[in-house]
Amino acid sequence: MGQAKSLAQLGLTAKSGRDAQITGLAVDSREVRAGYLFAALPGTRVHGASFIPTALEQGAAAILTDADGARLAADALGSADAAIVVAEDPRQALAGAAALWFAAQPATMVAVTGTNGKTSVATFTRQIWEEMGLAAVNLGTTGVEGAYEAPLRHTTPEPITLHRVLAQAAAAGVTHAAMEASSHGLAQRRLDGVHLRAAGFTNLTQDHLDYHADFADYFNAKAGLFARVLGVDGTAVINVDDSRGMDMAKVARTRGQEVITVGRREGADLQLVSQRFDATGQTILCRFRGKSYSADLALLGGFQAENILVAVGLVIACGADPDRVFETLPHLTTVRGRMQLAATRSNGAAVFVDYAHTPDAVATALKALRPHVMGRLIAIVGAGGDRDTTKRPLMGQAAAENADQVIVTDDNPRSEDPAAIRAAVLSGIPAAARAHVLEVGDRAEAILRGVAALGPGDALLIAGKGHETGQTVGDMVLPFDDVEQASMAVAALDGRLA
């Protein structure tokens, strides 16, 4: 890290065999310095090649782009004193170059993909490793957490940021890392340069159909983790309870990977045989390679047991002793913003904050709470702006079908009209259920009204924002934290701190 490297050392070959000494990498022209390689990537809004003249003016020593980019910037490139690399897939070439540039990652790495559960699985995997005395991190939506900590802007960062933090974590002594692989990250080859020992799959339901052309395209992006990123020597850990699990296992087996299937399904290598709930968590009974294991989990939500299975499979796939792995499970703790008990009213009613932001997650989270609730279950739900519009009515429907009362509110409207987003969520709620539905745009007021409605034995699920600490309205991020708001609402209503 830090020293100049030749293009050849970064696995790149320039046109006419010309080499260059590279002093840094940038994917954004505004970050190019003298001697840098500028990766001019095709974008969703503009081709990065439009910024090649700026990058050259700033002293770029080399340009990496595709054939379209080379054509677009032909004039600037023709007169430039810079090496030009034209790659069929420049994002993949950049991922490889970034890996070689930073040249260090924790020795044992795993990744997990799926619509829901990535942060939970990555966090549980890190917690298991830590309980086994290993220096570990998880890396994704909640940043880099564990033995090395850093904030991240993306679930799966672009390769330069990704390899920078991996190298920093390795330098800090981290030996084990579990990362999240988002479908955007996989489609954009952000993690193609990472060497993985194992990869996991949780589930596939609707999300991100604003970015992926259709559901098949979304599946294929996720399948890229097994079809491309995980090597033939890696192990795939697949939840076969999901309807696409078997398809994912087939992708892995076709590539020659060892597969550990997990789930409730009879015949799964790591099987969840039974699950019993109590006030503070659940007891699970599992079977792995003919041996039974029982563990008390201090985790609410049946779905968390499914995530635990994937995490256990990943840790075992990296060589751990299964007996030792199961011993750690009672010590695992709630993932921030995932089915987190945020406050309790003086009448005993509980308020949970959860990151459910897809139709399946809203349904799963509410169903998971039901066995713990003796009274009514109230849901606060909203949908994000500038994201998959087709999931909005489905989220409203999922809330109405699984809660006794629903409050539709705002969740990061971004550039959109919040009222229009709420209307789309409401449109999924059948007329017959409308009597139990309130529309309250202001999220703080929605939380106050949800908390106020709680009687003894009731519970409130505040869905959508989980660990987030801001509400994005237009270009502004206003401070907002569901857990804080829940506890303030309880304090205001009950005259005491939650």
Ligand X SMILES: Nc1ncnc2c1ncn2[C@@H]1O[C@H](COP(=O)(O)OP(=O)(O)OP(=O)(O)O)[C@@H](O)[C@H]1O
Ligand Y SMILES: CC(=O)N[C@H]1[C@@H](OP(=O)(O)OP(=O)(O)OC[C@H]2O[C@@H](n3ccc(=O)[nH]c3=O)[C@H](O)[C@@H]2O)O[C@H](CO)[C@@H](O)[C@@H]1O[C@H](C)C(=O)N[C@@H](C)C(=O)N[C@H](CCC(=O)O)C(=O)O
Ligand Z SMILES: N[C@H](CCC[C@H](N)C(=O)O)C(=O)O
Applying CB under 6 A, which residues contact ligand Y? 27-30, 41, 43-46, 48, 51, 154-156, 158, 182, 184-185, 188, 211
If the CB atoms of residues 209 and 433 are measured against ligand Y, the closer one turns out to be 209
DSSP-based three-state secondary structure for 125? helix
If the CB atoms of residues 396 and 464 are measured against ligand Z, the closer one turns out to be 464
If the CB atoms of residues 158 and 468 are measured against ligand Z, the closer one turns out to be 468
Q: How far apart are CA 443 and CA 441, in angstroms?
A: 6
Q: Is 46 left (phi over 0), alpha (psi -120 to 50) or beta?
A: beta
If the CB atoms of residues 310 and 462 are measured against ligand Z, the closer one turns out to be 462
Closest CB 340 distance from ligand X, rounded Å: 9
Closest CB 462 distance from ligand Z, rounded Å: 11
Known binding residue 182? Answer is yes
Asked if residue 397 binds ligand X (CB under 6 A), the reply is no
CA distances to 153, 384, 428 from 417, rounded to whole Å, are 24, 11, 18
Angle at 48 between CA 45 and CA 51, to 5 degrees: 115
Positions touching ligand Z (CB under 6 A) are 155, 357, 384, 387, 411-412, 464-465, 468
Tokens of 352: 């949970």
Cβ atoms of residues 121 and 178 within 8 Å = yes
Closest CB 303 distance from ligand X, rounded Å: 4
Q: How far apart are CA 315 and CA 143, in angstroms?
A: 21
384: partner contacted, choices ligand Y, ligand Z, ligand X, none (Cβ within 5-8 A by kind): ligand Z
The residue whose Cβ lies closest to ligand Y is 43
Asked if residue 388 binds ligand X (CB under 6 A), the reply is no
306: partner contacted, choices ligand Y, ligand Z, ligand X, none (Cβ within 5-8 A by kind): ligand X
393: partner contacted, choices ligand Y, ligand Z, ligand X, none (Cβ within 5-8 A by kind): none
Asked if residue 201 binds ligand X (CB under 6 A), the reply is no
H/E stretch holding 62:
strand 62-65
User: Which residues touch 446 (CB under 8 Å, ≥6 apart)?
Assistant: 380, 407, 409, 438, 440
Closest CB 243 distance from ligand Z, rounded Å: 22
Known binding residue 415? Answer is no
Closest CB 117 distance from ligand X, rounded Å: 3
CA distances to 107, 179, 270, 303, 383 from 322, rounded to whole Å, are 20, 21, 11, 21, 40
Q: How far apart are CA 330 and CA 343, in angstroms?
A: 23
Angle at 495 between CA 490 and CA 496, to 5 degrees: 70
Residues between 148 and 187 that touch ligand X (CB under 6 A): 155, 180, 182
319: partner contacted, choices ligand Y, ligand X, ligand Z, none (Cβ within 5-8 A by kind): none
If the CB atoms of residues 23 and 283 are measured against ligand Y, the closer one turns out to be 23
3-class secondary structure for 293-352?
A: EEEEECCCCHHHHHHHHHHHHHHHHCCCCHHHHHHHHHHCCCCCCCCEEEEECCCCCEEE
Known binding residue 116? Answer is yes
Candidate list 56, 174, 361, 489; residue touching ligand X; CB under 6 A: 361
According to DSSP, residue 89 is labeled S
Asked if residue 464 binds ligand X (CB under 6 A), the reply is no
If the CB atoms of residues 183 and 282 are measured against ligand Y, the closer one turns out to be 183
465: partner contacted, choices ligand Z, ligand X, ligand Y, none (Cβ within 5-8 A by kind): ligand Z
28: partner contacted, choices ligand Y, ligand Z, ligand X, none (Cβ within 5-8 A by kind): ligand Y
Q: How far apart are CA 400 and CA 407, in angstroms?
A: 10
If the CB atoms of residues 30 and 289 are measured against ligand Y, the closer one turns out to be 30
Closest CB 140 distance from ligand Y, rounded Å: 8
Cβ atoms of residues 384 and 412 within 8 Å = yes
Closest CB 461 distance from ligand Z, rounded Å: 14
Tokens of 16: 């006419």
Distance from CA of residue 323 to its chain's centroid? 29
Closest CB 360 distance from ligand X, rounded Å: 6
Q: Which string of x and - marks every residue 93-122 that binds ligand X (by CB under 6 A)?
A: ---------------------x-xxxxx--
| Burial tier of 164 (Cβ tally within 10 Å: 0-12, 13-18, 19+) | middle
Q: How far apart are CA 371 and CA 253, in angstroms?
A: 38
Closest CB 460 distance from ligand Y, rounded Å: 24
State the residues that interact with ligand X by CB under 6 A.
Answer: 114, 116-120, 141, 155, 180, 182, 202-203, 303, 306-307, 338, 354-356, 360-361, 364-365, 466
Known binding residues are 29, 114-120, 155-156, 182, 188, 190, 387, 411-414, 464, 468
